[in-house]
Amino acid sequence: MPGLILGIGFCFLFVMIPDKEGLTGYKMARRMMGYSYLICFLFLVIEGISLSLAASSVLQQIIMITIGIFQAFLFTFALTTLIDVYFFTWRRFIREVIIILLPTLAAFMVLFMCSNHYGFIAFLLLALFYLIKLVCYIVNFRNRYHDYERNISNYFSDDEHHRLEWVKKSFFTALTIGLLAFYHSLFPSLATSLIFTIVMGVYYTVFGIRFINYAFTFYQIETVMVDSAADDNEWKEMPVIASEGVVGHQAPKDGDKLLMDRLSSLMEEQRLYIKSDITIEEVALLTGVSYRSVSAAINRCKGVTFKSWINSYRIEESIRLIKNGYLKNQTIEALSQTVGFANRISFYRVFKSITGHSPTDY
Mean pLDDT of the chain: 83
Burial of 176-202, coded b for 16+ CB within 10 Å and e otherwise, reads ebbebbbebbeeeeeebeeebeeebee
What integer is the mean pLDDT of 185-199?
A: 82
The pLDDT value given to residue 121: 92
pLDDT above 90: residue 183: no
pTM: 0.75
Question: What digits encode the pLDDT tens for the residues 251-291?
Answer: 456 678 888 989 999 888 899 999 888 888 889 898 888 88
Which residues lie closer than 8 Å to 104 by C-beta, 6 or more apart?
66, 69, 126
pLDDT digits (tens, 9 = 90+) for 36-62: 889 888 888 887 787 777 667 888 888
Please give the C-alpha separations between residue 301 and each of 235, 253, 291, 322, in angstroms, as whole numbers.
Answer: 16, 9, 15, 29
- Does 171 have pLDDT greater than 50? yes
